[in-house]
Structure 1
Amino acid sequence: MQARRFDPDGTYVRRWVPELADVDGRKVHEPWRLPADRREALDYPEPVIDLADGLARFKHARGRD
């Protein structure tokens, strides 16, 4: 994931996405994996699509199944 590579501690994310300012460590890059009660308190939307599903659909569309 590009965010982990270029913003490993999440400083950039926390600055520009205030809903995630209080998320600890690298968890800021995948807030949808936090416990349900913590996710609800964030006021941050759920992913529109599952990333693994999106990647599989992309590979299929490019003929790389």
Structure 2
Amino acid sequence: MRTAIGQVLDYAHIGAKAGLQSTPVIVLPGEPESDLLELMTSLSITVVARDHGGFRVLAN
């Protein structure tokens, strides 16, 4: 999880330097622990998790 956070923020940074607008998003196979969800929310990372055959946005 922590690797995904670093990677998505790095990609957003690289895109911004190239003049691209992006929204960092991490897609997970299930709901993360509440402290990690809080961390990703504080970093403005959108979190999407698999939920009963579909996907659900947990944080925006």
Shorter chain as denominator, the TM-score bin is under 0.3
Relative contact order: is structure 1 or structure 2 higher (C-alpha 8 Å, sep ≥ 6)? 2
Task: Please state which structure has a larger fraction of its residues in strand.
Answer: 2
- Structure 1 or 2, whichever has the larger Rg, is 1
TM-score, length-scaled by structure 2 = 0.28
